[in-house]
Structure 1
Amino acid sequence: MSYVRNIGLNENPLYFAYQRETIGSEQFQGTFHAHQGIEILIVHKGHGTLIVDQKSYEVTSGMLCVFQPYQLHHIQVDPETPFTRTVIQYEPSVYESYFAHWPRLLAFFKHIHTSTLHAPCLYGLNEVDQFHSLFQSLETKQPSINKNDELEEYSLFLIAFFRSFMPLWEQHDGQIRSGPTRKTHQAERILSWLEEHYTEPLRLEQMSAELHLSPYHLSHLFTECTGTSISDYVTARRLQQAVKLLMSTDQTVARIGEAIGVTNCSYFCKMFKSHIGITPHQYRKQIQKQYEATLA
């Protein structure tokens, strides 16, 4: 399981994949994961379930989803139908200054990555009128963009995208508080319980007793609904919290390990490196360098 999917936002200021299509479960294995920057997902075709912040949402064509930095999420799609989507991923701090001339647009740009959103999804988009030509233009232009011109080209793309995105978000903001009739996902009760207990030793017997499900049914139900085991989810949730603490506090690595329920510092460092790719100390140094580079 890869918790943080590294798409190289330090080297490449924007990741863009237009109308990427997969069919079958082997081609798209969804797991609980997060990204370093903002991810915007537009679904053109496909059906399934999205889980983010312990809530589930229907995946359907004509939807747009926003995943904030290091926000744990999971998509499970119907393997029998094509899943076609466009993905935009970027590091917000790289582009914020480019929005400075448009205060209202800047405020919206910052809102998307810093505010608590009422819901991550918009539904019923008419992509032909809204984003299609913009995406096609970048798709055509991208292979020939000179390395020295990337920031300029990508900033112009994001400004144009957010200019179209902002009125849609404002129009739907009242509606998405409730959203379309949301199907209650069977895993939500389990996720809510785990949210309260993920820093504690995982005891399946205690969990099954409190949720009134047998241990076997509990594990089977969670895996069936999410494609991920309970232990893998707990690991991902602990790492998500560890990343937040490494970024926002000066607590020692050992103390952060204890805060997420891993009292053995060596094991915490090994677990972190296994999933993130570097040690907690190296990760903190990397974040500090990025912050200093942004200020510069």
Structure 2
Amino acid sequence: MKILNYLKLNQHPIQLRLEQNRTETFTEVYHAHQGMELLYVHKGIGKAIIDQQLFHIDEGTLVIIKPYQLHHIQFSTSPSQPYIRSLFVFEPAILEEFLSPFPSLYELLQSMCYNKKMNPVLKDEKLLEIENFIKLFERIAAEKSPTELLEQQALFMIAVLSIIKPIWNEAINVIKNSSIQPSTVELIMRWIDENYMDPFELNALAKSVHLSPVHVSSLFRKHVGSSITDYLTARRIREASWLLKTSSLSVKEIGESVGLTNFSYFCQLFKKNVGVSPHQFRKLFS
């Protein structure tokens, strides 16, 4: 699991990575990161794991990822099956400033950030309009100075939000009337999310979903593509990263609060997954 911090958001709070071909360079990893991310798929077939749910994603799909939200994007790529995507990564607070004259879009961004019931994956043919705005932005931005770039990026994001708004509102109505039950794999991830702060017991997890431990492990790996232990580690590291950034708890206390009571092991595991020690990570935000 990686915590990708996009530290340049501190200097450049809106970053657009448009129509990037990731066919040969794409790698799968559980990760979370600073800033909000909108991922638009131009080409490709895969799935996303977000908040203990599995989603199919393909051409014309928009994936909405909240700040420090644990997620895992998977694509099978080949010369005959390319993966091309655009990323829009931004600090919500900065974009909110630009949205102050547009109350309905401001409300939309708030809902995208904080509505926990909403499906984070949107699919609608109207989203194809995003591709037209990308082409227009690339032409305009090429002529702008660095000092004007943030303004142009904000205008681009305002246009994207205006495309998303009717689709989002329609999706909210669908959620209100939905009675879809979670899958077994989603129930497994929910159990981990509710119990990651305690010592892990596979038997207890298996009992909660009425399956054998062997079946639970096999089912999870088949549908998620990783082990239960990998997912549990990712969940713990994600929470530890958030606490390091936002709380005054000591590093030892944070390790204990996420179920890693061995201080040395917590520091070792954190550095292995994040790339820096917990103390170094905290200094990045002090």
Superposition TM-score, scaled by structure 1 size: 0.82
Instruction: Give the letter aligned to residue 91 of structure 1.
Output: E
Residue aligning to 1:103: 103
Greater shift after overlay, 183-192 or 168-177?
183-192
Partner in structure 2 of residue 163 of structure 1: 162
1:92 and 2:53 aligned: no
* Alignment-mate amino acid for residue 168 of structure 2: W
Equivalents in 2 of 1:147, 1:231: separation in Å? 45
- Please identify, of 216-225 and 42-51, the stretch whose mean Cα deviation from structure 2 is larger: 216-225
Say whether the 8 Å CA contact 1:65–1:122 is kept in structure 2: yes
Among candidates 251, 254, 268, match of residue 253 of structure 1 = 251
Aligned to 1:188: 186
Residue identity matched to 1:169: W
- Contact 2:221/2:227 (8 A) holds in 1: yes
8 Å Cα contact 1:42-1:87 kept in structure 2: yes
- Which amino acid in the other structure matches residue 274 of structure 2? I
Deviation at 1:194, TM superposition (A): 1.8
Alignment match, 1:120: 120
Is the Cα–Cα contact under 8 Å of residues 12 and 150 in structure 2 kept in the other structure? Answer: no
Shift of 1:13: 2.4
Give the 3-state SS of the residue equivalent to 2:16 in structure 1: strand
C-alpha offsets along residues 103-138 of structure 1, whole Å, 9 cap, x if unaligned?
Answer: 33223223322343421122223344x222211122
- Partner of 1:131, secondary structure, is helix
CA contact (8 A) 1:32 1:228 kept: no
Aligned position for 1:291: none
Q: Secondary structure at the match of 2:2?
A: coil
CA contact (8 A) 2:127 2:164 kept: no
- Contact 2:19/2:85, CA 8 A, preserved across alignment: yes
Cα separation, 2, equivalents of 1:233 and 1:160: 36
Q: CA deviation at 1:90?
A: 0.9
- Distance in 2 (CA, whole Å) between partners of 1:56 and 1:182 is 13
2:82 & 2:37 partners in 1: Cα distance? 21
Post-superposition offset of 1:261: 0.6
Counterpart AA for 1:148: T
**Structure 1 stretch 156-165 or stretch 4-13: which is displaced more?**
4-13
Distance in 1 between residues matched to 2:199 and 2:285, nearest whole Å: 29
Does the CA contact (< 8 Å) of 1:246 and 1:280 recur in 2? yes
Q: Which runs of 5+ in 2 are unaligned?
A: none
Q: Summarize the Cα distance change of 1:119–1:9 in structure 2 as closer, same or farther, 3 Å threshold.
A: same
Q: How far does the alpha carbon of each residue in 1:257-293 deviate from its partner, in whole angstroms, 9 at most, with x for none?
A: 11101112333233223323333344344334xxxxx
Task: Spell out the pairing of 1:103-252 with structure 2 (5 A cutoff).
Answer: 103-128=103-128, 130-143=129-142, 145-177=144-176, 187-208=185-206, 210-211=208-209, 213-252=211-250
Structure 1 residue 208 displacement after superposition? 4.1
Unmatched 5+ stretches in structure 1: 289-296
Distance across 2 between alignment mates of 1:85 and 1:264: 40
1:158 Cα deviation (Å)? Answer: 1.7
User: Within 1, Cα distance between the matches of 2:7 and 2:211?
Assistant: 39
Amino acid at match of 2:104: R
Cα distance change on mapping 1:237 and 1:30 into 2, 3 Å: same
Determine the C-alpha separation between the residues in 2 that align with 1:207 and 1:117. 24
Identity over aligned pairs, percent: 34
Q: Calculate the TM-score normalised by the size of structure 2.
A: 0.84
Pairwise CA distance, 1:184:
6.3
Give the match for residue 14 of structure 1.
14
Q: Residue by residue, what CA displacement relative to the aligned partner does 1:203-247 show, whole Å, maximum 9, x if unpaired? A: 335444554555454334323322222222111100121123234
